[in-house]
Amino acid sequence: MIITLWWKAWSWKGTVSKLLAEQLWYEIISIWTLKRKLAEEMWISILEFNRLWEKPENQQEFDLKFEEYQKSLALDSKVLLESRLGFLCQPHAFKVFLDVSDEVAAQRILWDNRTTDSYSDLEATLKATKERNESDRKRYQDLYWIDLLDQSHYDLMIDTWDKTPEEVTAIIIKEFSKIQK
């Protein structure tokens, strides 16, 4: 059975996905995997694809391509689908949402010292985190008329602020095993 995973920035998605895939023997299909597949189908490089996707006039078309691909996955696949649209495209999957407050996410970004998410201080980090989360939310409201934070979309919501990735993974596996019986 497919497991869909949506997340707010810095809620441990990457580590949790890897742990789930290892423990359940699942394949991870992420938005990046989808991008690569669509670029191959269009006979262009991932760099060319990203340039096209970034153009406002193309975003809706590309999002629809992601949606179609996700809907084409068989429900009985052993796939962990990292996707904001996973719950919509795979309504009968086990749907998980990883939450974290913007403040905790900002702290995690600063502690991690990533070069891709580098900010001068907590205030700048918090501002960028809030903007990213709100931008994602608005985009999907505009394109699909859905609120990504609506709890009714998910079978399981986990606030990761006080949990390690291993604890989050254990919770997901415990709840997922209940529906597998």
Instruction: Read off the pLDDT of residues 130-174 as tens digits, 9 standing for 90 and up.
Output: 887 787 788 788 878 888 888 899 999 999 989 999 999 999 999
Residue numbers of the domain that contains 43: 3-180
- 71/65 Cα distance (integer angstroms): 10
Instruction: Please tell me the predicted confidence (pLDDT) of residue 116.
Output: 53
CATH number at residue 48: 3.40.50.300
Structural domains in the chain (count): 1
Spans of the chain below 70 pLDDT: 113-118, 181
The count of residues in the chain is 181
Alpha carbon distance, N-terminus to C-terminus of the chain: 12
Contacts of residue 102, defined as CB under 8 A and 6 or more positions apart, other chains included, come to 8, 126, 129, 130, 133
Instruction: Please tell me the predicted confidence (pLDDT) of residue 115.
Output: 54
- 57/64 Cα distance (integer angstroms): 13
Instruction: Please tell me the predicted confidence (pLDDT) of residue 181.
Output: 65
